[in-house]
Structure 1
């Protein structure tokens, strides 16, 4: 294998060539997917482009009849379009920003409140000074909070059927306040959308969570749950108008209203996540959501995910955190700017087999490169040819030296074969910033 030269200090796309791997032929540097016609809504995942290309590949709704091509401008229209035609191939084109919290009578959290729910009364009823930390909350206000949460859940969750492509039209299309559920289905494409993470209007106070209690929230922006052949491409995922930094604290704990951006869980398999922007978030991406043996039965041999050419910017943790799966993470750009909160990027979990190669990290001075990796369980990984602030860095060696009580072992035990091309890491800061995210799909 050979990289063409790419200057480290002045990153230029000129001279940044792709690298063919094994028997694969090098694709053009843009890694454009194959297309059926000129409509980007009918583009399919290119051969060899990550785990979602395995087997039958991922085509989404590319074969949709004209009657199953829907253009939507509201959340109601979007959910109606999802329900039409069952699992027949369908394309849904999103125009503008769809607001999942808007109803005919109200917008935002007020639209979901059960009669009698009063947050100030909730805070008074379950104040640890009087309630304590030994028992879960219960009573009228907790029941009303739970009822309100059920109303929100029904309103903002959208279940995507098999053989579906959802694509934003133009540069300003997206969805706010929703949780997109790709659950128990096959062959789904999501592209060119700005997805503002849903806020949980009704987090639950759990006084038994840790020594000081915690607020627990629901709703991932995208959930891939026991689904196969899923391609997430050229999207932007963010907390948008509601960053955690602006959230208040109650009982001395952050009023947490966000969960994950992308969670790939419960037997999900054959997923490619490419050319996305994920930024300004805390718990970003789980691949495998539990260590429990009951869950492991459905996760072993699955959770095969490819991440490439994504921008992970100003994220606290889970970019991603991996359990069980064979995860190939290459050619991503990780950025932590000055003043950002940073915990770690890669979480090494139970029976994971992570390959993290040819990535670039641009880290402000407050971030120790030893923290890029985080050991949760003793699982081997491969981490080769990664660059930190323009210098080739052995992430495992740096971690083991800097965190001596969390020693990681080398060698994931498998070699990724489903890659169309690999860019030199020095080229990634410019290339990924220029090409990743919603509104840049060609």
Structure 2
């Protein structure tokens, strides 16, 4: 925290914050998350590398330099300033392929008419086409993932900073800020075919643009997430299924906690944001009581689903604008033991898309949804869902009341506010 300011300390989810906000520096790289600004402000708050000394402030223009800056300086707070667009794709997919890997051979070996659809590929040996695919994917994995240490701020300089093909790993650390960056989704060069995933099988890919894995106090602000030059519409089909080379844009998993995502753009993607990645008992043991996340003043546009899909977490989503396009499935996914509060949001749906699709019930879990507007009209999202989808009745009342909010804007003004202010290049 800035010198002389008091951290926000709360006794419980419904407690009242008593500490005064920390002052904001004029340099965006040294700004901290304001007191009461979402779950990221809980407890010690989120300051990232705000207290870095001059020796631990780095400016980078290449992927190698970025990774070196992440590794430098030991445990000291650090600031990494990104200039321009950094290409993390490397020299191309062919450079990651191990000797002997051939995609044509892979397709021929595991074609449904040859392999069938009742057994997966997990037991295939290392020298099989699947084994060579795994080895090739491991080489790409090592290249495109970058691991962020504790007490770090990563910030774009100007209006055109960001990454192509990077996967930012915020894993097992505390106190990270990521701001003013455009993330073009990584393109998995070696998706895996799983014949048992649905009745028809599916291609499954790796690499989210950013992953918050078991970490605490994370602030994602004024970032843009997109598929960029490789939208799903450009991807080929094999075995009658899309050759899916994208995973998520932002995943928050494995007991992660106290995250605020504000003034971001999530655009043109299928499976966008996952909070909690499994219903399993082992996952529940890690995630239950965690995954506390706030989304506010974000633009969700051109997405298919998961904005977000939630398991276990206490998620506060307010003052966001959701713009549905072709292929829209749903916005909020209500999953295992989730406690979603969705209030004061605006939704723009095309003609013929019912408001009942905004909520999708995956598991029995209560929801609070108040003061939301759909195409300019105040709409009870739970009531309209239950009327349009009577086979998936949702219960009202998430069981908690968010208090970690700063200014709440009326939902009628949200589309204009978010349209002017959200995304990379608009940090002031």
TM exceeds 0.5? Answer: yes
- Residue 288 (str. 1) matches residue 276 (str. 2): yes
Alignment size in residue pairs: 410
Q: Residues 34 and 45 of structure 1 are in contact (CA less than 8 Å); yes or no, is this contact kept in structure 2?
A: no
Alpha-carbon separation, structure 1, partners of 2:65 and 2:352: 46
Alpha-carbon separation, structure 2, partners of 1:277 and 1:95: 20
Give how far 1:34 is off: 4.2
Q: Deviations over 1:96-117 (max 9, x none)?
A: 1111122xxxx22122111121
Please point out which of 278, 282, 301 is paired with 2:289. 301
Give how far 1:24 is off: 7.8
Alpha-carbon separation, structure 1, partners of 2:352 and 2:252: 30
Give how far 1:245 is off: 1.1
- Residue 373 (str. 1) matches residue 359 (str. 2): yes
* Cross-structure match for 1:206: 194
* Cross-structure match for 1:311: 299
Q: Which runs of 4+ in 1 moved over 6 A?
A: 21-25
Alpha-carbon separation, structure 2, partners of 1:83 and 1:175: 18
TM-score, normalisation: structure 2: 0.93
Larger RCO: 1 or 2 (CA < 8 Å, sep 6+):
1
Secondary structure at 1:171's aligned position in 2? strand
Q: Deviations over 1:384-405 (max 9, x none)?
A: 0000000000000000000000
* Cross-structure match for 1:7: none
Please point out which of 396, 406, 418 is paired with 1:410. 396
Please point out which of 84, 89, 93 is paired with 1:109. 93
Alpha-carbon separation, structure 2, partners of 1:77 and 1:419: 37
* Cross-structure match for 2:68: 80
TM-score, normalisation: structure 1: 0.91
- Residue 95 (str. 1) matches residue 78 (str. 2): no
- Residue 67 (str. 1) matches residue 55 (str. 2): yes
Alpha-carbon separation, structure 1, partners of 2:44 and 2:16: 20
Give how far 1:22 is off: 11
Q: Unpaired runs of 5+ in structure 2?
A: 1-13
CA root-mean-square deviation: 1.7
* Cross-structure match for 1:430: 416
* Cross-structure match for 1:240: 228
* Cross-structure match for 1:133: 117
Q: Residues 353 and 379 of structure 1 are in contact (CA less than 8 Å); yes or no, is this contact kept in structure 2?
A: yes
* Cross-structure match for 1:363: 349
* Cross-structure match for 1:392: 378
Q: Residues 222 and 262 of structure 1 are in contact (CA less than 8 Å); yes or no, is this contact kept in structure 2?
A: yes
Alpha-carbon separation, structure 1, partners of 2:380 and 2:27: 43
Secondary structure at 1:150's aligned position in 2? helix
Give how far 1:232 is off: 0.1
Q: Unpaired runs of 5+ in structure 1?
A: 1-20
Give how far 1:39 is off: 1.5
